[in-house]
């Protein structure tokens, strides 16, 4: 509350002027405080229509988060993350079996970067404090978790908002759930092959026509425009993201990291755009060359027994 100080009789004839000036000062201070509160979109969104309040915390530097991504991908977060479901491995589905939870670390890192503009859990500079990054559609933190934030989804929504490692682990959980729920497959449906995750990464952002690589541009018309043109060059981080489906953005960033502080370049191979019909084909071969991640070296099943 703003208060006026007592004024001496000597300056009594200036009192109305001083009062007006201090009133203006008080109004300006109040306006500044209101602006500071309403200019934090993450805080306001979460306190408004979103199910979980924004948490207040320190934004880690990228180098502090790399280990969390690696442990989340290999199910080693322990109490720092949610439980991860087993993942289906094998094609056709009649020959598939459940194996230990696993998500390629490179995909977690690139998705986190793409979703939150630099692994941002909090709306603050690295090393500074702020409130949880919450999008207009109530996506929370680094991995922009939306589904299940109302509770009852097998993880703790409050920790998703407050803890960077838990948020990353929840992103791994969502990706495994997407993989397990799809009835379309790449190659041998091997979670240890990064290229086999093409459909699951597509589904992480939205399974449907919106992320079909041939949207708005049929294969037989190479002159229909650059955006979504099947003959356009691969995404490398310099083109507008609106020109590409989500999974091509992830593949592109994997091979073109923003800096050395995030991940080492992995030149993931995309399937031929012409092979992705509408609806997507139920099975396509693994694009070559294919890649492993999280220090897991991919070899044909006849040469290597993967963890179960």
For the chain, the domains span 56-284
| Residue of 124, 121, 114, 97 lying closest to 169 (CA atoms) | 121
**Greater model confidence, 53 or 22:** 53
Residues 209, 118, 169, 123, CA torsion sign: negative
Q: What confidence score (pLDDT) does residue 233 get?
A: 87
Span 53-93, pLDDT tens digits = 999 999 999 999 999 999 999 999 999 999 999 999 999 99
Least reliable range by pLDDT among 41-50, 101-110, 199-208: 41-50
Mean pLDDT, rounded, of the chain: 84
Span 116-162, pLDDT tens digits = 999 999 999 999 999 999 999 999 999 999 999 999 999 999 999 99
Least reliable range by pLDDT among 10-24, 51-65, 286-300: 10-24
**DSSP assignment of 31-56:** HHHHHHHHT-HHHHHHHTTSSSPPPE
Element (H, E) at 87: strand 87-89
pLDDT bucket at 248, cuts 50 / 70 / 90: very high
Span 219-229, pLDDT tens digits = 555 555 566 66
């Amino acid at each position: 509350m703003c208060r006026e100080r007592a004024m001496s009789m000597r300056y009594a004839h200036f009192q109305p002027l001083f009062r007006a000036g201090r009133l203006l000062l008080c109004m300006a201070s109040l306006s500044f405080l209101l602006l500071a509160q309403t200019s934090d979109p993450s805080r306001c969104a979460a306190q408004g229509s979103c199910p979980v309040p924004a948490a207040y915390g320190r934004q880690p530097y990228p180098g502090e988060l790399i280990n969390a991504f690696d442990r989340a991908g290999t199910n080693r977060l322990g109490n720092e993350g949610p439980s991860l479901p087993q993942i289906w491995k094998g094609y056709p589905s009649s020959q598939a079996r459940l194996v230990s939870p696993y998500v390629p670390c490179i995909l977690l890192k690139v998705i986190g970067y793409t979703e939150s503009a630099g692994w941002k859990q909090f709306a603050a500079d690295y090393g500074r404090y702020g409130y949880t990054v919450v999008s207009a559609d109530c996506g929370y933190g680094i991995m922009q978790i939306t589904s299940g934030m109302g509770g009852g989804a097998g993880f703790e929504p409050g920790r998703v908002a407050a803890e960077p490692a838990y948020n990353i682990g929840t992103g791994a959980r969502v990706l495994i759930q997407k993989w397990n729920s799809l009835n379309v497959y790449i190659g041998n449906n091997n979670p240890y092959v990064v290229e086999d995750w093409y459909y699951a990464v597509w589904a992480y952002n939205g399974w449907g026509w919106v992320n079909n690589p041939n949207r708005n541009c049929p294969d037989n018309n190479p002159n229909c425009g650059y955006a979504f043109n099947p003959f356009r060059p691969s995404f490398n981080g310099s083109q507008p993201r609106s020109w590409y489906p989500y999974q091509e953005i992830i593949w592109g960033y994997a091979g073109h990291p923003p800096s050395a502080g995030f991940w080492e370049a992995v030149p993931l191979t995309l399937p031929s755009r012409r092979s992705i019909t509408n609806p997507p084909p139920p099975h396509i071969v693994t694009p070559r060359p294919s890649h492993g991640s999280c220090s897991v070296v991919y070899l044909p099943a006849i040469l290597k027994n993967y963890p179960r």
